Amino acid sequence: MLEDNSQCPQWILGLLTEKFFNACLIHEDLKKNEKNIFCLDCCEGICAHCSQVHHSHRLLQIRRYVYHDVLRLGDAEKLMDCAYVQSYTTNSAKVVFLNQRPQTRPSRGSGNICTTCDRALQDPYFFCSLSCKVHKYLCNTKEYVFFFRFLIPTQFIFSNFPISAPPLFFFFFF
């Protein structure tokens, strides 16, 4: 879906295509070796043991909710516009799904549906996941507008990972 799009920043491609919670091949002999961290600088999923090598990089903690990868809404909003992406609450934190989930039953016909995958949603949402919103704007390049802003490293603390590397430019969707 997104792999062949040259318009899309590499970090978002990496984030949405990475297979999280698989064992890290570098640390396969160690406990707690599942890849549940995403390095924005290297554009790859890493485990907690790898994070020591990435200590000066910008890191995102990936979580699981109903067996699917999620990102805290607050962390996601620092990277892109999450307006109209349905959020859920787990462990008192609002989260958004990274990728669309398989549908267990057809849409009921009433209420909102995801504009990308037709999944049933609550009002006022139009996207079930970050990937559906990204895909919608990549497919409709007239609507795909980048707004970059310069962010100071101290503004970023993604799920308890301090951000101490130089700032990045991030993009936003409308």
pTM above 0.85, yes or no: no
Closest by CA to 16, choosing from 5, 32, 28, 27, is 5
- For residues 61-69, give the mean pLDDT: 96
As for how many domains the chain has, the answer is 2
Residue 174 lies in a domain: no
Are residue 137 and residue 82 in the same domain, yes or no? yes
Whether 127 and 90 share a structural domain: yes
Residue 23 sits in the same domain as residue 87: no
Using one digit for the tens of pLDDT, what is the confidence trace for 86-103? 999 999 999 999 999 888
> What is the span of the domain harbouring residue 44?
6-61
Residue range 72-96: average pLDDT?
Answer: 94
Q: Averaged over 117-124, what is the pLDDT?
A: 92
Q: Give the highest mean pLDDT range of 27-41, 101-115, 125-139.
A: 27-41
Same domain, 68 and 135: yes
Q: Residue for token digits 């962010």?
A: 151
Long-range contacts made by residues 133-136, C-beta under 8 angstroms, separation at least 24? 133/82, 133/84, 133/85, 133/173, 134/2, 134/8, 134/12, 134/16, 134/80, 134/173, 135/1, 135/2
Kindly state the percentage of the chain with pLDDT values over 70.
72
Q: How confident is the model at residue 8 (pLDDT cuts 50, 70, 90)?
A: confident
Check residue 87 and give its pLDDT. Answer: 97
Q: What is the DSSP track for 7-67?
A: TS-HHHHHHHH--TTSBPSTTTTSSS-B--EEETTTTEEE-TTGGGTTTTS-EEE-EEETT
CATH number of the domain that residue 10 is part of: 3.30.160
State residue 30's pLDDT score.
94
Does residue 67 sit in the same domain as residue 140?
A: yes
Burial of 34 (0-12, 13-18, 19+ CB in 10 A): middle
pLDDT digits (tens, 9 = 90+) for 140-166: 555 544 422 333 343 444 545 544 444
